[in-house]
Amino acid sequence: MLVIGAGGGVGTFAVQLAKAFGAHVTGVCRTSKTDLVRSIGADDVIDHTREDFTDQVGHYDLILDTTGTHTPGPAATRPHTPRNARHGRRRRGRALAARH
């Protein structure tokens, strides 16, 4: 699972809940929050100020965007193609956006 905004109010809950349910969690946050996001259980952390995480989104079964700013494109909806299967992407992913 990818949690965008993992260091925020919603994101910190999402990371911990996902870990409690046994998910492998990658959190996206700024540099100053990477230690926090790791400390609450994220397996991997992407610093969005240094890395373009949108390049990697096809790797996730579930993407939670707490910022509402990242339109789920091929990210979570990548279909099951032979090429994806070769890369271990056997299921169609889902994307959720949390905002009001």
By the criterion CB under 6 A, which residues form the site for ligand NAP? Answer: 4-5, 7-11, 28-30, 33, 48, 66-69, 98-100
> SS3 of 27, please?
strand
Residue 67 vs 84, nearer CB to ligand NAP: 67
> SS3 of 38, please?
helix
Query: Residue 90 Cβ, how far from ligand NAP at the closest point, in Å?
Result: 27
CB neighbours of residue 2 within 10 Å:
26
Q: What are phi and psi for residue 65, nearest 5 degrees? A: -105, 100
Query: Residue 65 Cβ, how far from ligand NAP at the closest point, in Å?
Result: 8
Regarding beta strands 62-65 and 44-47, do their DSSP bridges make them parallel or antiparallel, or are they unpaired?
A: unpaired
Residue nearest to ligand NAP (CB): 8
Query: Residue 79 Cβ, how far from ligand NAP at the closest point, in Å?
Result: 26
